[in-house]
């Protein structure tokens, strides 16, 4: 089993970008960027656009923790 958390806020901070700047570069609505960062919604097309705009893989947009299913 996995716990998956978005790390977009940290990525934007590292790059010195705002959600609005990313929205412009990815051609994705800023509201979609905000929902992504709050872990509310991840549309496929937005994932690809965001990852390409940032020069990252989709996996790099998330913190992925594997947990023991027996816990």
Do the domain assignments include residue 71? no
CATH number for the domain that contains residue 58 = 1.10.260.40
Backbone angles phi, psi at 30, to 5 degrees: -60, -35
Is this model's pTM higher than 0.75 or not? yes
**Tens digit of each residue's pLDDT (9 = 90 or more) over 30-43:** 999 988 878 777 78
Do the domain assignments include residue 18? yes
Instruction: Work out the pLDDT band at 71, boundaries 50, 70, 90.
Output: low
Quote the domain boundaries for residue 15. 2-66
Do the domain assignments include residue 37? yes
How many domains, in total, are found in the chain?
1
Per DSSP, the three-state class of 57 is coil
Q: What is the rounded CA–CA span in Å between residue 65 and residue 38? A: 18
Do the domain assignments include residue 49? yes
**Tens digit of each residue's pLDDT (9 = 90 or more) over 6-59:** 999 999 999 999 999 999 999 999 999 988 878 777 788 999 999 999 999 999
Do the domain assignments include residue 13? yes
């Amino acid at each position: 089993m996995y716990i998956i958390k978005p790390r977009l806020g940290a990525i934007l901070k590292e790059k010195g970008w705002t959600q609005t700047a990313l929205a412009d570069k990815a051609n994705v609505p800023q509201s979609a960027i905000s929902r992504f960062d709050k872990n509310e919604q991840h549309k496929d097309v937005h994932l690809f656009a965001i990852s390409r705009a940032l020069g990252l893989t989709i996996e790099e947009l998330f913190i992925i923790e594997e947990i023991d299913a027996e816990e």
